[in-house]
Every structure is written in structure tokens, then in C-alpha cells.
Amino acid sequence: MTALTPLRVLAISGSLRAKSINTAVLFAAQTLAPANLAVTIYRGLGDLPHFNPDLDTASPPSAVVSFRAVIDSADALLICTPEYAHGLPGTLKNALDWLVSHPPFLNKTVALINARPGAEYAQAALRETLGTMNARLLDRASEALPLTSNALDADALLRIPAVRENILIALTALQTMRDGAH
């Protein structure tokens, strides 16, 4: 990868809500990303069918083919997810299940941003699942944000210095990974 080629970061929100704080965090990260990081937000979690090993064949459903293609083209993932009942949202877990038997996902770099303090169970479950899938968790790019409200959009998040700083820490760690300093 040359200095002119931006690191392709696929940002995935575990929430399907239209006004999700998790999605807003990813839009803020997209705004803050330096020129050598191209952050694309994936919005197709709700389009994926329920995982069924009988459908995970050489010709999986078209939504799965599309999802896997965007995963394959990403150099790294940035995931921000809510916690539901001390766990991951079903839609995010379902998406990850579609990647379990997908060889290009092996050793994919993943950074996690936790939008809400107290959502440790979802983060722990996500770490466990990703570790089992042989993802390469980039701990120095995984940040917890000091948010106490779900009623903020990306513009409001960008005006909170601690939020900006933590998102920039995550992006800088991804940028460092891009420059070869694993």
C-alpha cells in the first residue's frame, strides 16, 4: 500500500435505528478521518437474511454476497454497537455469523468504539466473537466515549471535545496501522 492509497475502513453500526447514537458516532468518525483514511459506513445489516448454514454455500443470498464484498474490500473495520439485554444486537451477531466461514475475514483488523459507558457486556461479547473468528482486534484503536445521551447527532458529537478526542485516538491508531506500525 502506498502513501497515496487511503486505508479503507468499513464502519458498521450495530443499530438499525434511524437516529442511532452508534451510527452518529460513525458519521462523526467519517467527518474526522484524515485524508489517508477512507471511512465508508455500511447500512445493510437489516438486509441480511437470518444466518442459516444451509444457505452458506457457493451461492449464498445476494445480500450476503454484497456484504462479503464490502468486507473483502475493507482494510479494517470500525464497529460501534449498542448493548441489548447484556448482549449484542441480533442484527450485528447475524452479520458476523455470515462471516464465520468466509476466509477473507481471517485476520481482518477491527477497532471497536463503545458509545455508551456501561455497555461492557456487548463489548465483551463482541470481543469474544471476533476473537473466535480470528479477527485482529486493534486495542489501541478501541475507545469508549463518555456519552450519556442517545439524542445526539454527528454534528453535536463533533462539538464535544472528549468525544472528538476519543474518535481521533481511534482513527490515529488505524492510521498508524495503515503506515505499518502494527
Residue 131 pairs in a beta bridge with none
The pLDDT of residue 3: 58
Domain residue ranges in the chain: 7-178
Report the CATH superfamily, name and number, of domain 7-178: Flavodoxin domain (3.40.50.360)
72 sits in which H/E element: helix 62-73
Measured CA to CA, the distance from residue 134 to residue 23 in angstroms comes to 25
3-state secondary structure of 109: strand
Q: Note the pLDDT of residue 181.
A: 47
> Cell numbers at residue 148, please?
450519556
157 Cβ contact list (under 8 Å, min separation 6): 24, 25, 28, 147, 163, 164, 167
| Nearest residue to 78 (alpha-carbon basis) of 146, 172, 8, 9 | 9
pLDDT at 118: 75
- Cα of 77 vs its chain's centroid, Å: 5
**pTM (2 decimals)?**
0.93
Q: What single-letter amino acid sits at 129? A: T
Residues paired with 113 in a beta bridge: 80, 143
pLDDT in tens, the chain (182 residues): 455 689 999 999 999 999 999 999 999 999 999 999 999 999 999 999 999 999 999 999 999 999 999 999 999 999 999 999 999 999 999 999 999 999 999 999 999 999 987 778 999 999 999 999 999 999 888 888 888 888 899 999 999 999 999 999 999 999 887 666 44
Per-residue confidence (pLDDT) for residue 178, from 0 to 100: 64
Rounded Cα gap, residues 110 and 139, in angstroms: 9
Gap between the Cα atoms of 115 and 147, Å rounded: 6
Cell 453500526 appears where?
Answer: 13
Q: For the chain, first and last CA: distance in Å?
A: 14
Return the C-alpha torsion angle 30, 31, 32, 36, nearest 10: 60
